[in-house]
Structure 1
């Protein structure tokens, strides 16, 4: 019995001891997890206040190391404070680069527009408007009553047609006669536009002078697009008598349907009169190089034309690569180039890219639109140059026996007069191809550079040409006699005072060197058989080699193309 009681007591003791050990384990676990390094998992997002108030564990650090640590912390805080102060001071000293130059006055702003706009100067700030009498049935139009179109055009809508007006020009050349003319360059949506009148505005006039108009069609019907609804190029001419004994010319003109119509357009009459008339200028149609960077080739071309005798090159800009823009601005600052922005009139697209595609797909429309910049270039320079030459940027009129255009024409003009005793309206030069790859033969490929000539000099590198010239009268370019021309086309004059006479300069004297990848579209089928089969090495251009390389290289360096 006693043994049984002892066994029960032992079991009870074991239970107590087990409970004690379990309790001790739980206490140890709680103490460990609430005070040890492993307690982070207990502190979640819902216990953020505990995280912020939890005390760091106690560390028993000896006194001397503690002093050293305190000193280090103090020094670190001092350095941090010093760095923060320095950063604050440096930030306060920073000044962003912004344009702080004085704002241009409205007068200065509008004056800059005069170089790229057909708006009369009377609209500039403090400009002098004609003092029109109160008895006049029509008043001088207000600026914002004008109908503008696509930046550089003005518009006239009449009952049976629409006119888009680009520019107006005073013409009192000797062959005009006793009464001067105003020529207005327009695109109209009719092949036979309805009658219109010119309202001519003079600075001293109390009334506008009313003059009837005459239309000169600047296109040939056989070339296509001869139908209403497609914009056609015209030169509108009206007589512009001098206003008084001082021979005052009109300063602007409005095209209207009836005499007393309120004008929706008012275009400045260009009347440039330089002190001296120079010999040669070059005109280039609207440049449309959306993605092509032709800046290096353009530099070589500009420098060569200047060496040949071109005093200035007038170019028009549709879309150009930024490097081309930079190059032309460089030459514009040097006075060798004048760059004029231009758009297409009416409903034709002007969105970059879309316009480029439109002109590639609509070649006849493109050719018709090109006549606007060509004839604008002619009329802006009626009294500035003896000859204008219409060129593309891959063409050069190259004298063969002479060094300059002036020397060439000094011999050609007497030869033409000896043949027939009258002054020609133009002197044409025949076209010959300097293609990128003649015959596709390794010996005649231009991948291998000519010895002593930098690879970036495209024309100097390309000295193989077709032996055969294109047919006489085909793809020619001309020296146009400014005194005799009424309207010009890419290849020859269209309208003249009297007959558009031309003289063909023989190929031993000059040739139009045309640097292309391939023949033009209509000649592609016969390109191999007529032009690539028979080739000759022609180094005429090398007469200008040393100076041309020097000039082009300097320009490329100035523009940063070698950096």
Structure 2
């Protein structure tokens, strides 16, 4: 026997080559199987009962074959299909033969049968020729198109039912810039000189002026004004911040000082720095310059008397005489600057309301803060009572109010009995609804200082419209005791005051008396579950006719009718500054008093409140208005749907 001896190194090479060849053969076989499997369409490839190895769902071999046979008719020419699967799956053959490991389907004798590939029991493979793949795809597309066509037809039929529908949208024409500005002027508390600004843009740039010297001062650009919290404008000079709310024309002191412009402001300084007023007139392209002076609207003993706290001020700008201008030529707007040649970043429209005829009584109400407290029914009763007593109009300011209160006030605005003005807090004070309420509740001195702005805004807007303004809360009523209305009462008061001292007073005050909610009732009261008989229970004032016998001290918590010819700045209870001395006349309690409807006495009177509760008396003066008040209040409540549960609104 021939033996060939090779070196050990040669044996190692042969073994290495044999191993490499085996690996390459195995790799080629694996790639061939993978290639054939990847050519099979997804809708045919299916798994066996071993679902863990199925990448396309849990479809059985029988389902695959049935689906394939449905997609091909008897005339289709296909090549062979070989399916290998484990013994747990049924085996089929087009020739009727059964096999454990393979399924062969032949539709044509001319098809070339592909070799059966060895597979594991947990794996399935379906191998199709290119022609088979194309045919199956073609049939699939055909059926898909039929289905899509049917679906599209159904969609078209569904859409056709909406063809005649037409959504309703706001078809009002879009406002141009000028129209938007005019509309904005009406919604900005009327303190923006937008109409004048539209004209000022057309004026040539100023060259000179008699009292501006050589400065060329342009009218402030509306889009460069520095706004704060919607209704305020900010002016900064040095380390002082001015928050400007409104400007008003004042020429009441006839034959005396020059006419002037008053500006309501909150300033974070006790002693504000010197500033200048740029006063603008219509048809004049340059401003008139005037030195600003300050009227402090607070007493130091009341608190917050230091820099950093916002202080209420009235800034006065005297208007110098201008030759050639008629007396009724009024200024249009005003700006504050710290340099006469500086272009201002603030500008307020000067309010100068002058109706044809002056009426008698306006009522001013500070910012309402009742977001979650529904006082709407009580508010209707209060408004109707004031109207019965002679209030010509009620001016209220809105911080945040319940939706039902808004509904009531909107109704009265449309009736012309009420004017509601939105207001905010200036500077860094919070204006988030709810949080602002908590801030004002916990910062009482700040609250009182902020209240002076709406009080004095109400005064200056109505200087030439009403003889008197009364600052009231919605739980207060100045009740005439011997007369049926304020007009007749004040005629008597004027006569008595002139008999005492022969001059007109700046204000006429009435003393405060409490009508507390839970005062003890005397036996003579007509009881009906603790309510006045014959009067609807929802009428709070008519139901509360017991008051304390004792009044608060003279001058304490009084309310006034303020003379609009004399008052310069107002506090809640009395005038602070006047032309001349702030004289006042105390109306005798036999003629009138302030009926104050509260749950409890105000904080500083807690000790006196025990006495107020102990000594009470029945006071039915309000019954003088009972019949009309019940009818008018109920009519408004019915009109607004307050007796219909579904129409009542709630806060979010």
The one of 553, 558, 564 aligned to 1:482: 564
Q: How many Å apart are 1:250 and its aligned residue?
A: 1.2
- Counterparts of 1:179-328 in structure 2 under 5 Å? 179-241=258-320, 243=322, 244-247=324-327, 248-328=329-409
CA separation of 1:417 and 1:85: change in aligned 2, threshold 3 A: same
| 1:345 correspondence with 2:345 | no
CA separation of 1:48 and 1:499: change in aligned 2, threshold 3 A: farther
Q: How many Å apart are 1:229 and its aligned residue?
A: 0.4
CA separation of 1:464 and 1:105: change in aligned 2, threshold 3 A: farther
Q: How many Å apart are 1:132 and its aligned residue?
A: 5.2
Report 1 or 2 for greater relative contact order, CA contacts < 8 Å, sequence distance ≥ 6. Answer: 1
SS at match of 1:251: strand
Greater CA drift, 177-186 or 238-247: 238-247
| 1:460 correspondence with 2:542 | yes
Q: Specify the alignment match of 1:133 in structure 2.
A: 206
Q: Specify the alignment match of 1:165 in structure 2.
A: 244
| 1:151 correspondence with 2:230 | yes
Q: How many Å apart are 1:301 and its aligned residue?
A: 0.7
Q: Specify the alignment match of 1:365 in structure 2.
A: 446
Q: Specify the alignment match of 2:510 in structure 1.
A: 429
Q: How many Å apart are 1:53 and its aligned residue?
A: 5.8
Residue 200 of structure 2 contacts residue 285 of structure 2 at CA under 8 Å; is this kept in 1?
no
SS at match of 2:292: strand
Distance in 2 separating the partners of 1:192 and 1:48:
94
Distance in 2 separating the partners of 1:214 and 1:522:
35
Residue 359 of structure 2 contacts residue 466 of structure 2 at CA under 8 Å; is this kept in 1?
yes
User: Which TM-score applies when normalising by structure 1?
Assistant: 0.83
Q: Specify the alignment match of 1:546 in structure 2.
A: 627
Distance in 2 separating the partners of 1:97 and 1:242:
58
SS at match of 2:407: helix
The one of 592, 601, 605 aligned to 1:523: 605
Residue 232 of structure 2 contacts residue 426 of structure 2 at CA under 8 Å; is this kept in 1?
yes
Q: How many Å apart are 1:386 and its aligned residue?
A: 0.2
CA separation of 1:93 and 1:205: change in aligned 2, threshold 3 A: same
Distance in 2 separating the partners of 1:463 and 1:373:
31
Q: How many Å apart are 1:129 and its aligned residue?
A: 6.3
Residue 146 of structure 1 contacts residue 265 of structure 1 at CA under 8 Å; is this kept in 2?
yes
Residue 175 of structure 1 contacts residue 484 of structure 1 at CA under 8 Å; is this kept in 2?
no
Q: How many Å apart are 1:432 and its aligned residue?
A: 0.6
Deviations, residues 340-366 of structure 1 (Å, cap 9, x unaligned): 111111111111111111100100000
Deviations, residues 156-206 of structure 1 (Å, cap 9, x unaligned): 111131111111111000357252011111110100101111111111324
Deviations, residues 319-374 of structure 1 (Å, cap 9, x unaligned): 11111111111111111111111111111111111111110010000000000000
Q: Specify the alignment match of 1:41 in structure 2.
A: none
The one of 479, 483, 500 aligned to 1:398: 479
Q: Specify the alignment match of 1:495 in structure 2.
A: 577
Q: How many Å apart are 1:133 and its aligned residue?
A: 1.9
Distance in 2 separating the partners of 1:230 and 1:475:
25
CA separation of 1:446 and 1:134: change in aligned 2, threshold 3 A: farther
Q: Specify the alignment match of 1:65 in structure 2.
A: none
| 1:47 correspondence with 2:126 | no
Q: How many Å apart are 1:48 and its aligned residue?
A: 8.9
Distance in 1 separating the partners of 2:497 and 2:463:
23
Distance in 1 separating the partners of 2:158 and 2:531:
57
Q: How many Å apart are 1:98 and its aligned residue?
A: 3.3
Distance in 1 separating the partners of 2:195 and 2:499:
50
In structure 2, the gaps of 5 or more residues are 1-55, 70-153, 209-214, 645-652
Q: Which has the larger radius of gyration?
A: 2
Q: Specify the alignment match of 1:469 in structure 2.
A: 551
Deviations, residues 517-549 of structure 1 (Å, cap 9, x unaligned): 110111123212x21001111111111111111
Q: How many Å apart are 1:249 and its aligned residue?
A: 1.7
Q: Specify the alignment match of 2:185 in structure 1.
A: 114
Q: How many Å apart are 1:131 and its aligned residue?
A: 5.4
- Counterparts of 1:404-419 in structure 2 under 5 Å? 404-419=485-500
Residue 298 of structure 1 contacts residue 393 of structure 1 at CA under 8 Å; is this kept in 2?
yes
Q: How many Å apart are 1:89 and its aligned residue?
A: 5.7
Distance in 2 separating the partners of 1:441 and 1:306:
31
Residue 137 of structure 1 contacts residue 260 of structure 1 at CA under 8 Å; is this kept in 2?
yes
SS at match of 1:46: coil
Residue 206 of structure 2 contacts residue 217 of structure 2 at CA under 8 Å; is this kept in 1?
no
SS at match of 1:91: coil
Structure number with higher helix proportion? 1
Distance in 2 separating the partners of 1:446 and 1:437:
15
Q: How many Å apart are 1:102 and its aligned residue?
A: 3.0
In structure 1, the gaps of 5 or more residues are 1-43, 56-82
CA separation of 1:483 and 1:325: change in aligned 2, threshold 3 A: same
CA RMSD of aligned residues (A): 2.8
Distance in 2 separating the partners of 1:438 and 1:130:
68
Q: How many Å apart are 1:498 and its aligned residue?
A: 1.0
Q: Specify the alignment match of 1:512 in structure 2.
A: 594
Residue 241 of structure 1 contacts residue 249 of structure 1 at CA under 8 Å; is this kept in 2?
no
Q: How many Å apart are 1:95 and its aligned residue?
A: 3.8
